[in-house]
Amino acid sequence: DINWYGESSKLFDKHVRYQGDEVACIVAETENSAEEALNKIMVSYDILPFEVDAEKLLNNTELKVHDWGNINKGKPDEYSRGNIDEGFSSSDYIIEDTFSTQVAIHNPTEVHCSVVNWEDDKLIVYDSTQGIFEVRETVAKALGLSEEKVQVIKEYMGGGFGSKLEAGKYTVMAAILSKKIKRPVKITLDRREMNLAVGNRPDSIQKLKLGMKKDGTLTALSQETIASVGAYPSGGGCSWPLRTLYKCDNVETIEFSMLTNTGKARPFRAPGHVQGTFAFEALIDDAALKIDMDPIEFRLKNYVDNDQVWGVKYSSKKLKEAYKIGAEKIGWQNRNKIPGSGKGYIKSGIGMATQIWWGGGGPPAHANIKITKDGLVNVYSGTQDIGTGTYTFISQITAEILEVPLMNIIVHLGNTEYPYGPSSGGSTTAPSISPAVRDAAEKMKRKLYSAAAALTNLAESKLKYSEGIFYSDKNEKLITLLEIASQVQADSLLVKGSREENIKGLAVQTFGAQFADVEVDTLTGNVRVKKVVAAHDIGRVLNRQTLENQFHGGIMQGLGMALMEERIMDYDYGKMLNANFHDYKIPTMMDTPEIEVIIVGEMDEQANNMGVKGIGEPAMIPTPGAIGNAIYNAIGVRIKSLPITPDKIINALNNN
């Protein structure tokens, strides 16, 4: 009788609310025997009314997914500033439109998996997770254990994109079964189970309205969103870009996150921002076209240097530079001045979209550094590397400050026995943990000075340190780091580092602009993305290769959302029809465009002691919007729903 999803469900709930809700778990020696046993289970179901369409549920007072209603938290999320009615009444032009985005599935390469074993009364969990401490907390609470009795380990991971920020039911099931049979238990979800039961990006229907003066000055912005968040409480909002991206005094948004009889939503790489940016940036382009203004000029006309929601300045913002260099690199001057005006059936188009995301990180985040007798530098932190290069940048920071070779740095991550580290999500890992590592490394350097002074009988002020060696003020070699480590007491070279508090009164945000160059075959509807230029302000670059990798991955994920990825439901039976890689299309190497990544600005000195901001989310946020605007520039017809598939293009051209 273990509660799950707050208290809205049980580990095994007799009220099954969607295809994928867990009803039983089998333990066996082999996968085949488990499948055979599964097929012998007979379940008697009472067929209940259901609905998978969020818009229909909004006005349906009879069918309830939960007794307390169908809107997440019981009410919509609302925001306003200024006077929206006055803003629209003072407008010279008003533009209204409705956009929609699909449900997308995370589909990381590494499937969800837990391996558990009891050692006396302590539970050891090897889990594919983006947050080991969150898993520990959930599992301990579910099993009635103290957190000290649960150890979670995850040293490496093959992606999660947000689907692994929560503990899975399967982890608790494995723990219960392991306790019963007194043996280790491994549960691995297959691709179908992952598609059904461990999260998705919510869909959205977005009704947008924009008011502006003849010169392009925004006077009012409003947005109404309906999103499906699945069968259990989650969030589906996507209005943040509209609230704060461009200067506007009068803004109003209302968001209905609807509970439906479908798989529960989970955070998915920039939750809400990808959907919201696609729709809002399309409307911004349409507004610019209305007054015959260049879309970039329109955005510059409404540029803002402060966060309009919180009323504070940005710690840094280099978006103007991103617009300038991105436009140069994509050949902005070659775009169709009149959308769809190119000759021939292969139409070319160029489009762009703007990105805003947090990415500043913050405390708590801790790292310990210990130098052992052999002179090796060990760094310990409870954060994890989910394939983004956390091991790499921690090694680099430590090696640079302590002036030792990278091969002498050993980084230990992904274990709840280590100092607390943040979950890997929301573009927060690097800006949270790297300042803690720097703090620890600088403390260790001071400790080395103190030890060297004691061993050489010289004042610290008389010592100089370079590349692992201490010298006298006369440049005489005195003692090496290895010699110090071998002579001091064990564990004396141990320090603890922590992430400092964020500066109050500042908004630490990331900004960027992506530009897409596309070709559209107007006979088949096929789209080829030829090139994407990503110009972003993301603070200090810790490692250029991992940065490039992040952007390439994010852009390809954005391309998938723009052109092909979509959960397809049978609305009559409430079932997902494409819960596999054969029918759920994702981009491959054949779809990969030329990608050019440009970082504008330098380190953000006010963000943290490393000047670092996150890049996981910014890499994907503007991609669907840029591709959508490029397709419009190519064919002259606005496709208002994602994904932009060939049939939608052909139908739009025929209707036009």
Question: What pLDDT score does 584 carry?
Answer: 98
Taking the alpha carbons at both ends of the chain, their separation in whole angstroms is: 58
User: Which tokens go with 189?
Assistant: 């979800």
Whether a cis peptide bond, with omega within 30° of 0, leads into 364 is: yes
Nearest to 601 by CA among 219, 290, 315: 315
For CA atoms 578, 581, 587, 591, the dihedral sign is negative
CA atoms in the 13 A half-sphere facing the CB of 615: 30
CA dihedral for 626, 627, 631, 637, sign (positive or negative): negative
3 state SS of 273: helix
pLDDT averaged over every residue in the chain: 97
| Domain 3-48+106-197 CATH assignment equals 3.30.365.10 | yes
CA triplet 255, 259, 260: central angle to 5 degrees?
A: 125
User: Which residue has tokens 């959205």?
Assistant: 204
**Is 617 an annotated catalytic residue?**
yes
Identify whether 643 is preceded by a cis peptide bond (ω within 30 of 0).
yes
Q: How far from 538 is each of 56, 506, 615, CA to CA, in Å?
A: 41, 16, 7
DSSP for 506-570 reads EE--EEEEEEEEEEEETTT--EEEEEEEEEEE-B--S-HHHHHHHHHHHHHHHHHHHHT----EE
Query: Residue 589 gets which letter from DSSP?
Result: G
The Cα-based distances of 270 to 197, 621, 655 in angstroms read: 20, 7, 34
Instruction: Give the start-to-end residue ranges of the domains of the chain.
Output: 3-48+106-197, 51-102+202-297, 314-356+508-656, 366-498
Q: Please give the pLDDT value at position 61.
A: 85
Structurally, what CATH architecture does the domain formed by 314-356+508-656 represent? 2-Layer Sandwich (3.30)
In the block, which residue shows the tokens 């720097």? 438
285 phi and psi, to 5 degrees?
A: -60, -40
Q: What is the average pLDDT across 147-163?
A: 96
- CA 76, 509, 383, 199 torsion-angle sign: positive
pLDDT > 90? residue 656: no
* pLDDT digit string, tens, across residues 313-358: 999 999 999 999 999 999 999 999 999 999 999 999 999 999 999 9
Residue 193: pLDDT over 90: yes
| Segment 37-96, tens digit of pLDDT | 999 999 999 999 999 999 999 988 899 999 989 999 999 999 999 999 999 999 999 999
Helix (H) / strand (E) element for 123: namely strand 122-127
The confidence band for 236, taking pLDDT boundaries of 50, 70 and 90, is confident
Given pLDDT bands bounded at 50, 70 and 90, which one contains residue 602?
Answer: confident
> Measured at the alpha carbon of residue 574, what is the angle toward residues 571 and 576, in degrees to the nearest 5?
95
| H or E segment to which residue 576 belongs | strand 575-576
Place of tokens 């509660």: 3
Helix or strand run (H / E) with residue 649: helix 646-655
Q: Do domains 51-102+202-297 and 366-498 have the same CATH topology?
A: yes
What sign for the dihedral angle of Cα 274, 276, 278, 280? negative
Question: Cβ(270)–Cβ(60) under 8 Å?
Answer: no
CB–CB of 631/279 below 8 Å?
no
pLDDT at 601: 86
Per-residue pLDDT tens over the stretch 418-446: 999 999 999 999 999 999 999 999 999 99
Q: Which residue has the tokens 């970082």?
A: 599
CB under 8 A, 24+ apart: contacts of 398-407 = 398/369, 398/437, 398/441, 401/438, 401/441, 401/442, 401/445, 402/377, 402/441, 402/444, 402/445, 402/448, 402/468, 402/481, 403/465, 403/466, 403/467, 403/468, 404/377, 404/467, 404/468, 404/481
Phi/psi of residue 31, nearest 5 degrees? -65, -40
Give bridge partners of residue 370 from the DSSP assignment: 378, 494
Find out whether 514 and 623 touch, Cβ atoms under 8 Å. yes
490 pLDDT higher than 90: no
- Among the listed residues 134, 281, 566, 617, the single catalytic one is 617
In our burial notation (b when 16+ CB lie closer than 10 A, e otherwise), range 464-501 reads ebeebbbbeeeeeebbebbbbbeebeeeebbbebbbee
Give the residue carrying structure tokens 């900004």.
Answer: 511
296 sits in which H/E element? helix 295-301
pLDDT surpassing 90 at residue 555: yes
What is 51-102+202-297's CATH number, 3.40.50.10490, 3.40.640.10, 3.30.365.10, 3.40.50.620?
Answer: 3.30.365.10
Residue 378 pLDDT > 90: yes
The single-letter DSSP state of residue 334 is G
Cα gap 177→27, rounded to integer Å:
7
Put the strands of the sheet holding 494-498 in their side by side order: 409-412, 377-380, 366-371, 494-498
Tell me what percent of the residues of the chain surpass a pLDDT of 70.
100
Residue 311 CA to residue 271 CA, distance in Å, equals 23
Say if residue 371's pLDDT is above 90: yes
**7 falls in which pLDDT band (50, 70, 90)?**
confident
Enter the pTM of the model.
0.97
Q: What are phi and psi of 113, to 5 degrees?
A: -160, 145
Contacts of 37 (CB under 8 A, 6+ apart): 26, 28
Among residues 268, 287, 290, 249, the alpha carbon closest in space to that of 204 is found at 268
Query: Is pLDDT at 363 greater than 90 in this prediction?
Result: yes
Q: Which two tokens stand for residue 496?
A: 């603890």
| Cβ pair 378, 371 in contact under 8 A | yes
Query: What's the confidence (pLDDT) of residue 441?
Result: 99
Length of the chain: 656
Q: pLDDT category, 1, cuts 50, 70, 90? A: confident
| 214 residue type, one letter | K
Number of Cβ within a 10 Å radius of residue 412? 18
Options 3.30.365.10, 2.120.10.30, 3.30.1330.10, 3.40.50.2300; CATH for 366-498 is: 3.30.365.10
For the record, the structure tokens of 619 come out as 């890499």
If one counts every other C-beta atom within 10 angstroms of the C-beta of residue 364, the result is 12
Return the structure tokens found at 656. 């036009």
